[in-house]
Amino acid sequence: MTSNDRELILTRLIDAPRALLFRCWTEPDLIKRWFVPAPWTIAHAEVDLRPGGRSLIVMRDPDGNEFPNPGIYLEVVKDEKLVFTDAYVSAWQPSEKPFMTGIVTFEDEGGKTRYTARALHWNEEDRKTHEEMGFHEGWGKCADQLAALAATL
Amino acid sequence: MTSNDRELILTRLIDAPRALLFRCWTEPDLIKRWFVPAPWTIAHAEVDLRPGGRSLIVMRDPDGNEFPNPGIYLEVVKDEKLVFTDAYVSAWQPSEKPFMTGIVTFEDEGGKTRYTARALHWNEEDRKTHEEMGFHEGWGKCADQLAALAATL
C-alpha cells in the first residue's frame, strides 16, 4: 500500500468480524493480550473511549522496564474507526512532543475484515524515525497477535 | 490571570449573554466583524462546527495580503466551550507545524459572561513567540471588538 512522505501504513485481511477486532483495540483486558510484540508485555492499559478521552498503555520490556504511552482519542466510531494521538496527554494538554496520529479502520471485505492502521506524522523526519524504530515489523507482528487472539474469542 | 510556561490566557467580563458570544465565535458572518484587530480584516471564514470539523479563517492586512489560518475543532459545547487547533488542517491530516491549541470558555458571572481564551503551546519557545507576536494586545483588542459587536446584536 502506498503512503505519503509523512505516513506509514499497515493493512491486513483478518478472518474475524469487525466488532471483535474493535473490542481487541478498546478493551483493556484484550489490549494487554496483543498490543505489543512479544516478548514485551503490556503492564497496564486504561481506556476512556470518547473524543478527548484518555488512553494510557504502559509497555514492559523483558527486563521489567516500563514505558508509558499516554495519549487521547480524537474520534471513535464503534466497530469502524479509531483515531488517537500522542499530541495531547489529556484533553487538551499538549504533550512534550507530538509524534504521531493513529487512524485504525475496520471494514467488511468478503466475509473477513480489512484492518488498516495508519500512522501520520507532523514531519518526514518523524516518519523516518518511526520506520527505523521498526513500524512495519512491530505493527505487523502485533497484527498477527491480534488475528491470533481474535481467533480464540 | 496566571498561566503556565506553555500557556497564554486572556479573560474578560463581557456584558452579553453566553449564547451571543458563542454565535460571534462560530458564525462566519459574525466572525468577520471582530476576529482580527482592525485595520486588518477577515477576507473569508468557513466553519464546520463539530469535533474534527474544519475551520478556515483568512486574514487580510491593510495592503491586501491574505493569510489563511486553517485548523480543526476538537471539542464543541454549544454556548459554553470551543476547542480548536492548527495541529491538523483537516481530520486528521497533521499540519506542517503544530503551534497552538485554543480553548475558549463562556461562563455566567453576575448577569454577564466570563469570557476566557487560552492558547496552549507544545513548547515554551512557541508560547514566547506567540507572546512576542502580540498575543495580549491582539486578543485583547479582539475581545474589545467582540464586546462591541455583541452590544449591537
pLDDT tens per residue, range B132-144? 999 999 999 999 9
Tell me the CA distances in angstroms from B35 to B26, B45, B95, B123, one per residue in order. 11, 10, 22, 25
Cis preceding linkage at B122, omega within 30: no
Cis preceding linkage at A25, omega within 30: no
Q: What does the DSSP 8-state code read for residue A96?
A: S
- Cβ distance A101 to B95 less than 8 Å, yes or no, reads no
**Confidence check: pLDDT of B78 > 50:** yes
Q: Is A21 within 8 Å of A3 (Cβ atoms)?
A: no
Residues 6+ apart with CB under 8 A from A63: none
**Confidence check: pLDDT of B2 > 80:** no
Per-10-residue mean pLDDT of chain A, 153 residues long, equals 80 97 98 96 97 97 96 97 97 95 98 97 96 95 97 95
Q: What is the pLDDT of residues B16-25, one digit of tens each?
A: 999 999 999 9
Residue type for position A134 = G
> Side-chain half-sphere of B97: how many Cα atoms within 13 Å?
5
Average pLDDT, rounded, for chain B: 96
Angle between helices B135-152 and B18-26 (to 10 degrees): 110
- Cβ distance A75 to B101 less than 8 Å, yes or no, reads no
**Confidence check: pLDDT of B4 > 90:** no
- Predicted TM-score of the model (pTM): 0.92
Predicted confidence band of residue B51 (pLDDT cuts 50, 70, 90): very high
- Cβ distance B103 to A120 less than 8 Å, yes or no, reads no
ipTM for the predicted complex comes to 0.90
Q: Is B87 within 8 Å of A83 (Cβ atoms)?
A: no
Q: Is A84 within 8 Å of A71 (Cβ atoms)?
A: yes
Partners of A123 on chain B (C-beta within 8 Å) are 96
pLDDT at position A120 is: 97
Range name among A14-23, B2-11, B84-93, B133-142 with the lowest pLDDT average = B2-11
Q: If residue A141 lies in a helix (H) or strand (E), which one and from where to where?
A: helix A135-152
Q: Which of B6, B75, B96 sits opposite A52 (nearest CB)?
A: B75
pLDDT at position A115 is: 98
CB count, 10 Å around CB of A31?
20
Compute the nearest-CA separation of B143 from chain A (Å): 23
**Confidence check: pLDDT of B91 > 70:** yes
Q: What does the DSSP 8-state code read for residue B50?
A: S
Whether A55 contacts chain B with CB within 8 A:
no
pLDDT at position B111 is: 96
Predicted confidence band of residue B3 (pLDDT cuts 50, 70, 90): low
Partners of B6 on chain A (C-beta within 8 Å) are 94
Most A CBs within 10 A among B5, B86, B88, hence the mutation to make, goes to: B88
pLDDT at position B1 is: 46
pLDDT at position B17 is: 97
Residues 6+ apart with CB under 8 A from A9: A1, A2, A3, A116, A117, A118, A119
